[in-house]
Structures are given as structure tokens and as C-alpha cells.
């Protein structure tokens, strides 16, 4: 069983928080000015909000492991370190049964993907607010939300007290053969799979977050430019793509055709801001956005700076660089895909915008 720091039954017991009625507004949130005057601390605030904390002890620089969270524990705050997917599902089920209002995820993008994937099976209706403590090798969601790299659990609990949130919808990837679902924020296929493998090497070399992503993508482009006409990077992977709705532009017929063809790269994301300031989808905006690049990529040296800076140049689409917004798409491919850093086998998939979630932000 997962390492449960506090007993789940504590949720039904007496609260350990001291009485401070003047600090509370009618909506159940703290009034920061009054709270400061009465010396109410973030841990006491958390004791008023039923909080479940998922800690990933394997995260690159985990700050709030089980030992570090002990000072924050009370009758309504639980910290858990699940070691397996089965334990994670069990913990989240217990969290839901005890009515948590705040789910804290201490880890990187991969941890967030695993927790949100499991949570979507538990909370089929309204989900609790989510707070991120970015402690992984890559923290793209935290960067998009404006969460600083050094944000602590204490600061996350303070923000939860003050009630500031941003809404983001994850990508939902559904495997048609068995209905299994994944939830994440950055989907990639083709050259992006190879680039992510290179990013793992840059992690071992000490580069993290957007730096690792940027270095990997630069190396992938160099491999494509100088790898020769028969390079595997240039050949791409065969994909069948069919957009089902949204704002796919009419000029994207080549990318939208329901036929198998080689694609150099496919990216999809619901993030509004990407690492290191790149803009592969153009102007930052809400919704599910995709970039599809035909293989072999044409005029890559000229197109790359325009793609990464979000240029709307019309010739990019004619050259095979298609930016398409859509609420949902069907995708068939034999090769694998990446979701938030993890490789999964290909197949017949639906990629769509998932249910909106409320994230606690500074």
C-alpha cells in the first residue's frame, strides 16, 4: 500500500486548526489581510481545506517528500507517496470518498499526467482544484500557468487559501481498441519521439525544463538538415489524420485528408505558452492546437525560425507546415507517440480536448 502519512479516517475526525473566525470570508476562503493580522499560517489554512497531496519521491528535485510534508499534516490534510499505478488509483479513490477540495501534485509533467489520468476515472463529475509543486525534470504545465520554478508547498497552500485559479483543459488520448484513456498536455509523434529521446540524454547532462526541450529540438533539426536525403529523420512516419471539429482552416486540406501519408512531425497541445518561448502553434490561445509537418520537410532551414516564433506566413502551409485548431481528431499510426515525456505505442486513437480543470496559481 502507498505510504500514507496520515490516516484517511482523520478526515472525519476533529480539525486540528486553531479557531480564527475573523479570518474567514462567507465563501470559505481566507481574507489575507485579516489572516495576516491574526497570524494564520498556510498550514492552518490548509487545515480548513480538505487537501490530498500526491508526492513523487522519484522527481528530479522533490522538495516536499513525505518527511517534508509532515509539518503540514492535520485532520484534513493527507500526504501520500504511491509507488505504483494501482496504489495511485486506490489513493485517489480514497481522496474522492473523503471529499477533498484541493489536490496537490508534487512532481513534474510525467507525474501530473499519471495523476490526472487516474483522477479522470475517479472524478467523473466536478473535480477538486489542483495545485502544482514543480519538482520534475520538465515542468511545462507549471511554466504555462506562471508558477515559478522554486514554488514550494507552503506557497501553493497559501495560494489555495487566497483562491486564485487558472483554467486549463488537458489533452485526452483515447485508444479505440479498448477505450483506455490518457490525460496530458503535450502530445507528439514522428520526429518529436526521437527528439524526446535526445532530451533524456540532455537530462543526464544536467539540462532541464525548457533548456532540455530546446536543445533536443535543435539537435533534431540539425540531424534532419545534415542527415542526407535517406535520413530516417526526413522519412517521417505514416499517419492517417481526420479532424472532427473546431476551427480547422480550409487551406489545411492536405493535412486533413483521410489518407495515409508520411508526416515528419506532429505536435498537439492545450498549453497556451510553450517552454523557452517557442510558438509552434502561432499566437498563444486556448483550445487544442496542432502542428503537422509533411515528410520529407521542405525548406526546413527557412521554415524553422518562422515556426518557432509563431510567424503566420502563408507559404508555410503550402510548404507542408500545417497549423490546425480542432476540438477533436482521429489519428491512426503504427509508430509510437509521446505524451508529456512518456512513449506509448501507436494505433487507432482519438485525440481531443478534455474536461477543464481549475489550477491554483500565485
Q: What is the pLDDT of residue 24?
A: 42
Mean pLDDT of the chain: 79
The number of beta carbons lying within 10 Å of the beta carbon of residue 86 is 12
C-alpha cell at 152: 514550494
Q: What is the pLDDT of residues 296-354, one digit of tens each?
A: 999 988 998 999 899 999 999 999 999 999 999 999 999 999 999 899 999 999 999 99
Question: Under CATH, which architecture does the 173-356 domain have?
Answer: Sandwich (2.60)
Q: Using CA atoms, how far apart are residues 27 and 208, in angstroms rounded to an integer?
A: 40
Residue 58 has a pLDDT of 62
Cα atoms in the Cβ-side hemisphere of radius 13 Å centred on 199:
23
Choose between 93 and 48: higher pLDDT: 93
More confident site: 226 or 35:
226
The fold for domain 3-163 equals Rossmann fold (3.40.50)
In the chain, residues under CATH classification 2.60.200.40 are 173-356
254 has pLDDT over 70: no
Banded model confidence at residue 7, pLDDT cuts 50, 70, 90: very low
> Beta-strand (E) ranges in the chain?
3-4, 51-55, 77-81, 102-107, 129-134, 165-168, 171-175, 181-184, 186-190, 237-245, 261-269, 289-294, 321-325, 328-333, 337-339, 342-344, 347-353, 357-360
What is the phi-psi region of residue 240: left when phi exceeds 0, alpha when psi lies from -120 to 50, beta otherwise? beta
Assign 3-state DSSP to the chain and report helix, strand, coil percentages, each to 5. Answer: 35, 25, 40
pTM for this predicted structure: 0.81
Q: pLDDT digit string (tens) for 8-62?
A: 444 433 333 333 333 444 444 445 554 555 455 655 655 578 899 998 766 545 4
Give one word for 164, left, alpha or beta, with left for phi > 0 and alpha for psi -120 to 50. beta
Q: What percent of the chain has pLDDT over 70?
A: 68
pLDDT at 136: 75
State whether residue 340 is helix, strand or coil.
coil
Q: What is the pLDDT of residue 314?
A: 92
Direct distance between the N- and C-terminal alpha carbons of the chain, in angstroms, rounded to an integer: 33
Q: Which residue spans of the chain are classified as CATH 3.40.50.10330? A: 3-163
Report the residue count for the chain: 362
Task: Give the pairing type, strands 77-81 and 51-55.
Answer: parallel
131-166 per-residue burial string, b: 16 or more CB within 10 A, e: under 16: bbbbbbbbbbbbbbbebeeebbbbbbbbbbbbeebe
Contact 239, 332 (CB under 8 A): yes
| Spatial CA neighbour of 71 closest among 151, 145, 152 | 152
Q: Residue 250: its pLDDT value, please? A: 41
pLDDT at 205 over 50: no
DSSP 139-165: -HHHHHHT--TT--HHHHHHHHHHT-E
Instruction: From 116, 112, 182, select the one nearest 142 (Cα to Cα).
Output: 112
Supply the pLDDT for residue 26. Answer: 43
Question: Sorting pLDDT into bands at 50, 70 and 90, what band is 358?
Answer: very high
- pLDDT at site 14: 31
Does 253 score more than 50 pLDDT? no
Chain segment 274-307, per-residue pLDDT in tens: 887 889 999 999 999 999 999 999 998 899 899 9
Asked if the model's pLDDT at residue 231 lies above 80, the reply is no
Amino acid at each position: 500500500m502507498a505510504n500514507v502519512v496520515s490516516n484517511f479516517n482523520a478526515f472525519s475526525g476533529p480539525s486540528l486548526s486553531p479557531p480564527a473566525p475573523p479570518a474567514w470570508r462567507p465563501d470559505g476562503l481566507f481574507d489575507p489581510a485579516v489572516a495576516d493580522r491574526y497570524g494564520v499560517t498556510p498550514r492552518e489554512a490548509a487545515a480548513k481545506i480538505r487537501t490530498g497531496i500526491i508526492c513523487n519521491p522519484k522527481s528530479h528535485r522533490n522538495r516536499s517528500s513525505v518527511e517534508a510534508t509532515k509539518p503540514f499534516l492535520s485532520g484534513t490534510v493527507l500526504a501520500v507517496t504511491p509507488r505504483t499505478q494501482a496504489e495511485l488509483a486506490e489513493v485517489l479513490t480514497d481522496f474522492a470518498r473523503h471529499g477533498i477540495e484541493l489536490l496537490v501534485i508534487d512532481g513534474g509533467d510525467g507525474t501530473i499526467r499519471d495523476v490526472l489520468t487516474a483522477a479522470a476515472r475517479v472524478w467523473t463529475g466536478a473535480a477538486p482544484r489542483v495545485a502544482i509543486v514543480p519538482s520534475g525534470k520538465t515542468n511545462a504545465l507549471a511554466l504555462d500557468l506562471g508558477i515559478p520554478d522554486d514554488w514550494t508547498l507552503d506557497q501553493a497552500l497559501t495560494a489555495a487559501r487566497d483562491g486564485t485559479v487558472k483554467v486549463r483543459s488537458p489533452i485526452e488520448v483515447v485508444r479505440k481498441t479498448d477505450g483506455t484513456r490518457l490525460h496530458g498536455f503535450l502530445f507528439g509523434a514522428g520526429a518529436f519521439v526521437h527528439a524526446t529521446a535526445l532530451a533524456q540524454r540532455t537530462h543526464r547532462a544536467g539540462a532541464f525544463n525548457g533548456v532540455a526541450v530546446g536543445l533536443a529540438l535543435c539537435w533534431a533539426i540539425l540531424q534532419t538538415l545534415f542527415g542526407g536525403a535517406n535520413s530516417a529523420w526526413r522519412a517521417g512516419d505514416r499517419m492517417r489524420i481526420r479532424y472532427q471539429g473546431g476551427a480547422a482552416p480550409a487551406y489545411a486540406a492536405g493535412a486533413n485528408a483521410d489518407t495515409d501519408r508520411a508526416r515528419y512531425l506532429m505536435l498537439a497541445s492545450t498549453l497556451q505558452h510553450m517552454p523557452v518561448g517557442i510558438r509552434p502553434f502561432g499566437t498563444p490561445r486556448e483550445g487544442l492546437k496542432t502542428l503537422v509537418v509533411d515528410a520529407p520537410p521542405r525548406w526546413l532551414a527557412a521554415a524553422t525560425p518562422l515556426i518557432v516564433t509563431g510567424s503566420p506566413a502563408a507559404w508555410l502551409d503550402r510548404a507542408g507546415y500545417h497549423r490546425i485548431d480542432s476540438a477533436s481528431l482521429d489519428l491512426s499510426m503504427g509508430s509510437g507517440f509521446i505524451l508529456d515525456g512518456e512513449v506509448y505505442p501507436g494505433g487507432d486513437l482519438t485525440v481531443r480536448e478534455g474536461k477543464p480543470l481549475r489550477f491554483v496559481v500565485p
